[in-house]
Structure 1
Amino acid sequence: MRKLIVVVGLIFSIVVNAQQYTDTPYLQDYAVKYELQETIGGTALWQVESDRNLAIKVLSADGLLNAFGNELSLDLQYRPLTDMNIIAFDNYQDQFVYLTDTSVLSNAWGGTYEVEHGLTTASHFAIGSDFKALVASINALKLIGKEGKVIWETKENELHPISLKYDKRGNRFLMLTANALYEIVPEKPELKKIYSGSNLTAFALSENGIVLGTGNGVITLSGNPLKAGEINQKLPWTEITSITNINEQLWFGSTKGAFKLREDGKYDYYASKRWLVDDVVIDIAKGPENSVLIATKTGLSQINFVSMTLAEKADYFQKIQRLRHIRYGLTVNLELKTPGDLTSGYYHDTDNDGLWTSMYLAGELYRYAVTKDEDAKQNAYEAFEAMERLTAITPMHGFPARSFERDGYEVGLHANGFSEEWYKKHVAENGRIWRLTPDGKWRWKSTTSSDETCGHFYVHALFAELAPDQEWRDRAIHQLKIQMDHIMDNNWYLVDWNGEPTAWGKWNPKYVNSFPINVGDRRLNSTLILSFLQTTYHFTKDEKYKKAALKLIKRYGYDENANRPATTIGYVEGEDLSDRWNHSDDEMYFLTIPGFVNYSFTEEQRKKHFETVKSHWEVERSEKNPLWNYLFALTGSTTIDSEESAWNLREFPMDLIDWKIDNSHRKDLIMIEPNFRSQTYSEVLPGDERVLHKHNGAYKNNGGNARQEYAPYIYLLPYWAGRYAEAISAPVKE
């Protein structure tokens, strides 16, 4: 919060600027997918190529296919080609060249290039310098000049080539079979075996030599004479189907997706429907305009790499947020009746509509503070009115509903803290989680949890700080007051319509201190209620809130609870709430820390609270979560993980559909022992290689069902928090 930065002074401002990430353009990847047209569904795909005209063609068992309008359809452009038996095609001088059962030909260069090869079982070919074509069949090779003259030919028993390529730097052809790699030099042509192996499947040339794919790993041949290194099986998957060198970057296709070798020796992994039509890769080729084409068993994916800043990415997501993720002013995911199909999208409530809305609203407040954009202000005010209605719609003063919907259209029957048997009995029969308004037109969702309360206190405090109009700021302060009063008047509980505390809205000392000190809820709930009280006191100056906080501190040890370092949290035998680290608790904790630290009653208390928050941040650093880093910065930290946060934002996927993701087979990742934090690998995966989550599942690597599109606030809040904390610069165009 801008005002709060002043509290920490000039040193904080200088240090943050020193760590500021400069938002220059980087290459953002995203996929465009082409499904097989229904009339040719099931056809086998063989190759993919593009040319200088930006055309993308796929060769199939049914002939050439054209990639257009997110479909692969029969290519009817050159009518003569539709009557030819095209066996393979290649790219020479950025033009398409075709191998048919009789000839090698092209429609470029005025259609003048065509040579007959005379092989009865031609299967592969490559074009070398000056239009020299090497054509291979099951048992023969033939090198043909530009005018059709046969330069060299040989017959071999059971040749069965797998791949044939021209090595421009070495001025030679290379041919791969299942058990050998051969060299043919055009000036002195002969079939020379340069490597013997087994289970060979693909190859490509690189700066370091020749890279061979096998059914169980990759081998690199280097040196003169060639020597084979040890087989590399530390790959996302080892059953290699294709290898291509694109702009000196090696791309690998496999039966479980595609991956690109990075400079650091690790891999960028492209798998699942986030990236590919399916994961069985057939061929990879250079595409138009800095893209990569990946043909799979049932379609084509074009991985585009475009120059983009984090700010431009935020602009993109802002449009998606407004277009598809606003329901009555609340922020929601888009549910998909048909998996993966955005046109089948519809809205329904969740248990945490208030929390998700608070996080989008906070991002818009940060955006307004940084840019003074009236659009951000309007979005923030609209979301705030929806948040206001969550308390206005319930009959209990200051009790916020989870959500609301018109009567008869409520969908989400689940509510945290109740078993399936419970809500089958009580909800299905008489809708007790959903309560009817007096006018009989609306229902509001009860059983509100501490998650929701965290969102309300976080964003209403932020609203009171940053909203430009005093009348609106006062409305936010009123929300803080009535919600705090409800909790205090009900003996430190959220009390529902039935007079009972909700399952998780409990801050009463009897409940909080019933847990051993190692159970996270004892520490978390103490932190939350102290932060709520400090925040309400800060804005109202009503002494009753300060007195209540001091009573909890002095009589019930809440400050001691809250100030225990995060490292004390652990497993306690017999405690259900301590069997694993709850990452949703992290979300509540970090949304609460600005109020917990910055609204402390004394400087001594602020220092203690800050050190406690720092201990939690230290535990969380491995997640590289930008929101945790930027909220920590807003408590006055002189150290944040700036580059790690920017990395996370860069790697955040452009496609927010909850695609099914599976990383369990990967052999390039270092597994660690099962642990309390549920961390699977030695380091967190990039966001575009794992399951999407709402900041509470960094180590969730597998899952998804394509039944929803996540709301983009999960990017927008950390980005604008980073801008507001001056941890991200304004966009800088190179």
Structure 2
Amino acid sequence: MDKPYIQDFAEKYELGGVVSDASLWQVRSDRNKAIKLVSSKGLLNAYDNTLLPDLHYRPLSDMKIKALEVYDGQFIYLTDKSILSNAWGGKYEVEHGLDKPALFAMGPNFMTLVASADEVKLFQNGKRVWNKQYNGVNPKTILFDEKSNAFLIQGTHGVYRVTMADLELRKLYEGSDLTSMTMYKGNLIVGTGNGVVQLSGESFSKNETDQKLPWTEITVVKTINDELWFGSTKGAFKLRDDGKYDYYASKRWLVDDYVVDIAQGPDNSVLVLTKEGLSQINFVEMTLSEKADYFQEIQRLRHIRYGLTANLSLKTPGDLATGYYHDTDNDGLWTSMYLAGELFRYAVTKEEDAKHNAYEAFEAMERLTDITPMHGFPARSYERDGYEVGLHANGFSEEWYKKHVEEHGRVWQLADDKKWRWKSTTSSDESCGHFFAYALFAELAPDQEWRDRAVHQIKIQMDHIMDNNWYLVDWNGQPTAWGRWNPKYVNSFPINVGDRRLNSTLILSFLQTAYHFTKDEKYRKAAHKLMKKHGYDENANRSATVIGYVEGEDLSDKWNHSDDEMYFLTIPGFVNYSFSEEQKTKHFETVKSHWEIERSEKNPLWNYLFALTGGNPIDSGASAWWLREFPMDLIDWKIDNSHRKDLIKIAPNFRSQTYTEVLPGDERVLHKHNGAYRNDGGSNGNREYAPYIYLLPYWAGRYVEAISAPSP
């Protein structure tokens, strides 16, 4: 059931103008939703993604503000002279008489405790009722504990209590490198430079130390809306009900990772102040459907290039206003995945907008074969002459590209009209996308004329492969590096190298798809020849569990998760278009073996495509978790989880899995569906990914009825 859940996302405010070099100390928000910060350059406001001087109250501009708190929803300021507020008609002001005051806290009826490095004073009704000089406390946090009717003071080496009954300063706990404290569920949580200490019991005499945290160098601990938050030198994190943590780090969430302060923000948001700026983490109710609407708008606004799906490159890291388009090696594949999502959306909703988007993407893909001189050969991409920017193909090095040009000519070829260039060296993953999308199009598009065009694409691409001895043959008459289904190539690999099984599966699925829609016997005969003479059925029906490391084989040093992407896009045709029920049963069992291996990734696309073949159950709960945890920010930020002490690492392995379980999408590096366990990496924010990554699995889930329509 697609019921509303809580979606988190961040808004960021960076230092600007005359305060660009300010040191940030503290942040608070009042009942009016105003956000103010204390800095080395005075009071600041958070406005339009920038931190600037607060000019609202001119008298405050001339005061030396040391700290800021919120009492009864109103701002209270600590200056070098007094404690004051502009609320309540400006009547509240207490001259504290302290030299170099540092911090303060409020109790009931405006009772105020204010501290400096060597003295603490208590005020009631504007009058001093108690004071105490101390040495070596170095106060970092003061708070009022209603349960014990006492103020608690945390210094660098200890925690102290001032009870209202006898007004005595007593040490509760002695430690070292203490940084912050907060009350949480009746316990006192103390942050340190190496973990947190929990003090419990009536007198806080019991203590436990916890170092199983995302990071142990704690700078601040806060209780906000009955949830325990931590700030550290490597980001912020929140304790969950299950004892694990939601981790907020990297520029996806924070301006920088060194947390200075945390506070409750407007509308149940949380304010995370770091050395270089402020991040407001918002928590809003949202359905998966509303999230899809949000991403659909971004897809249409920023990720359509000539009708193809495109990433958005950013000249200035993180700045969407500097975005521009360019080709990739897999424009056909990414477009096919967006196209499929829109076909599923149309099938579910019958929205004309979905049909229009699907037809536009189809025409863009159709041109990939129209623009090349070889019948049925799809280009990787196309661009106007002189504007192509992809220097090489399929991730090869520049050295490979130079050698390739010397031996085979340019990757980019001039089209017949002399105005456009098309990108050659097309690979098998592109073919997977084409056959996947065109088969869906031939089934789900509402207009017969358009469905016939999709069947035509299936036919000409299949004919190209068959006419060229089971290869994709480029403009130079040579097979491309990865478009190879010839028996000599496929069977050259040992049975436990994934390419033997994968390529056999792909070509059988392509042939079955071609036969299903054209009923041309040549495709079925060709498939039977590959199966009987060259063992392709045996290859394709071999369980995925046999795939493993083979010494001396370049394609076997680790599990290739891009192969998973090709495999799952292919399985609907592989199973559903089988030539017989007996074959269909065998194909399904083989597909199931692969799905069982992939289950730990919790990838909804794999689950829903498996459902298209008849798979049941399909881990719907895990799929919904993946979709909910998918980040709203699609910028490719650099992310690192390698330092985390709350995760359980496992030994290096063939599947490149790092931890005992997959991390939520908003805590790891952003990647497409072939990323799987990629937890670290990314870039400095130099591109925004296209949102089809979310849209395809969401609408596939709706299509197979694994996700309901949104529920109020």
**TM-score, normalised with respect to structure 2:** 0.99
Query: 1:445-481 deviations in whole A, cap 9, x for unaligned?
Result: 0000000000000000000000000000000000000
Question: How far apart, CA to CA, are the structure 2 residues paired with 1:628 and 1:680?
Answer: 20
Equivalent residue number for residue 667 of structure 1:
645
Runs of 5+ in structure 1 lacking a partner? 1-21
- 2:101 counterpart of 1:101: no
Matched residue, 2:450? 472
Q: 1: CA distance between counterparts of 2:164 and 2:114?
A: 13
Identity of aligned pairs, percent? 74
Report matched runs for 1:170-319 at 5 Å: 170-319=148-297
What is the identity, as a one-letter code, of the residue corresponding to 1:236?
P
Residue 651 of structure 1: aligned partner: 629
CA contact (8 A) 2:412 2:423 kept: yes
Conservation of the 8 A alpha-carbon contact between 1:416 and 1:503:
no
Counterpart AA for 2:609:
L
1:116 equivalenced with 2:89 (yes/no): no
SS class of match (1:229) = strand
Among 17, 39, 54, which residue is 2:33 paired with?
54
State whether structure 2 residue 389 is matched by structure 1 residue 411.
yes
What TM-score does the superposition give when structure 1 sets the normalisation length?
0.96
Would you say 1:92 and 2:56 are equivalent positions? Answer: no
Confirm or deny that 1:390 pairs with 2:342.
Answer: no
Equivalent residue runs for 1:313-712 within 5 Å? 313-416=291-394, 419-425=397-403, 427=405, 432-705=410-683, 706-712=685-691
SS of corresponding position for 1:729: coil
Tell me whether 1:136 sits opposite 2:115 in the alignment: yes
CA distance in 1, matches of 2:188, 2:395: 59
Aligned with 1:358: secondary structure? helix
The CA distance in 1 between the partners of 2:403 and 2:488, in whole Å, is 30
Question: How many Å apart are 1:646 and its aligned residue?
Answer: 0.3
In terms of mean alpha carbon deviation, does 201-210 or 255-264 score higher? 201-210
Q: Please give the secondary structure, in 2, of the residue aligned with 1:33.
A: strand
d(CA) in 1 for partners of 2:396 and 2:118? 70
Q: How many angstroms apart in 2 are the aligned matches of 1:434 and 1:90?
A: 62
CA deviations on 1:415-443 (whole Å, 9 max, x unpaired) are: 12855323135559996100001221000
**Which residue number corresponds to residue 51 of structure 2?**
72
Q: Secondary structure at the match of 2:673?
A: coil
Verify the 8 A CA contact 1:137 1:159 in the aligned structure 2: no
Instruction: Give the SS at the match of 2:11.
Output: strand
Moved more, 515-524 or 229-238: 229-238
- Corresponding letter in the other structure for 2:199: L
CA-CA distance at 1:223 after TM superposition: 1.4
SS at match of 2:196: strand
Per the alignment, do residues 101 and 417 of structure 1 end up closer, same or farther by CA in structure 2, a change over 3 Å counting? closer
Hey, what does 1:38 align to over in structure 2? 17
Q: Once the 2 structures are TM-superposed, how far is the Cα of residue 156 of structure 1 from its aligned partner?
A: 1.2
Describe the shift of the 1:213–1:419 C-alpha distance in structure 2 as closer, same or farther (beyond 3 A): closer
Q: Cα distance, 1:122 vs. partner?
A: 1.1
| Separation in structure 1 between the aligned mates of residue 407 and residue 64 of structure 2, nearest angstrom | 66
The amino acid that maps onto 1:94 is G
Shift of 1:38: 2.9
Map Cα deviations across residues 33-87 of structure 1 (whole Å, 9 max, x no partner).
0000132112110000000000000100111100010000000001110111111
- The answer to whether the Cα contact below 8 Å between 1:365 and 1:462 also exists between their aligned partners in 2 is yes
Report the CA distance shift for 1:384/1:187 in structure 2 as closer, same or farther (over 3 A).
Answer: same
Whole-angstrom distance in 1 between the partners of 2:174 and 2:103: 20
Tell me how far apart the structure 2 counterparts of residues 510 and 426 of structure 1 sit (CA, whole Å).
23
Deviation >6 Å, runs of 4+: 428-431
Is the 1:36–1:299 contact (alpha carbons within 8 Å) kept by the matching residues of 2? yes
Q: Distance in 1 between matches of 2:400 and 2:283?
A: 50
Deviates more, 1:629-638 or 1:411-420: 411-420
- 2:698 corresponds in structure 1 to 719
Residue range with higher mean Cα deviation, 149-158 or 469-478: 149-158
CA–CA distance in structure 2, aligned partners of residues 222 and 252 of structure 1: 19
Does residue 152 in structure 1 map to residue 130 in structure 2? yes
How far, CA to CA, are the matches of 1:447 and 1:307 in structure 2? 46
Alpha-carbon distance in 1 for matches of 2:649, 2:397 = 34
Equivalent residues of 2:337, 2:692 under 8 A apart: yes
Amino acid across the alignment from 1:201 = T
**Cα deviation code 1:601-629 (max 9, x no counterpart):** 11111111101000000000110000000
Match status 1:168 vs 2:146:
yes
CA contact under 8 A between 2:497 and 2:548: conserved in structure 1? yes
- Name whichever of 164-173 and 426-435 sits farther off: 426-435
Query: Which amino acid is 2:370 matched to?
Result: A
CA distance in structure 1 between the aligned counterparts of 2:15 and 2:443, rounded to whole angstroms: 54
Q: Is the 8 A contact 1:413 1:427 kept in 2?
A: no
Using the TM superposition, give the Cα deviation of residue 227 of structure 1 relative to its aligned residue in structure 2, in angstroms: 3.3
User: Matches of 2:26 and 2:114 in 1, distance apart?
Assistant: 17
Q: State whether residues 140 and 159 of structure 1, in contact with CA within 8 Å, keep that contact through their aligned partners in structure 2.
A: no
Amino acid at match of 1:100: T
Contact 2:137-2:157 within 8 A present in 1 as well:
no
Asked if structure 2 preserves the Cα contact closer than 8 Å seen for 1:649 and 1:719, the reply is: yes
Structure 2 counterpart of 1:585, one-letter code: D
User: Offset at 1:157?
Assistant: 2.1
| Structure 2 CA distance for aligned equivalents of residues 210 and 731 of structure 1 | 41
Provide the rounded CA distance (Å) in 1 between the counterparts of 2:37 and 2:224: 18
Q: Aligned to 2:425, what secondary structure does the other structure show?
A: coil
Letter in 2 for 1:555: K
Provide the rounded CA distance (Å) in 2 between the counterparts of 1:487 and 1:441: 28
Q: Is 2:137–2:156's contact at 8 Å kept on the other side of the alignment?
A: no
Instruction: Report the RMSD for the aligned CA atoms in angstroms.
Output: 1.2
**1:172, distance to aligned residue in structure 2 (A):** 1.7
Does the CA-based 8 Å contact 1:258-1:271 persist in structure 2?
Answer: yes
How far the C-alpha of 1:208 sits from its partner, in A, is: 4.7
- Give the number of aligned pairs: 711
1:186 CA drift (Å): 2.4
Instruction: Provide structure 2 residue ranges, at least 5 long, that are not aligned to the other structure.
Output: none
Q: CA deviation at 1:219?
A: 1.0
Give CA deviations for 1:185-216 in whole Å, capped at 9, x if unaligned.
22321111111111111111000501111101
Asked if the contact 1:587/1:696 (under 8 Å) is kept, the reply is: yes
Equivalents in 2 of 1:411, 1:427: separation in Å? 16
Q: For the Cα contact (< 8 Å) 2:155–2:178, is it kept in 1?
A: yes
2:61 alignment partner in structure 1: 82
Separation of aligned partners in 1, 2:616 and 2:601: 19
Aligned residue type for 2:302: R
Letter in 2 for 1:432: R
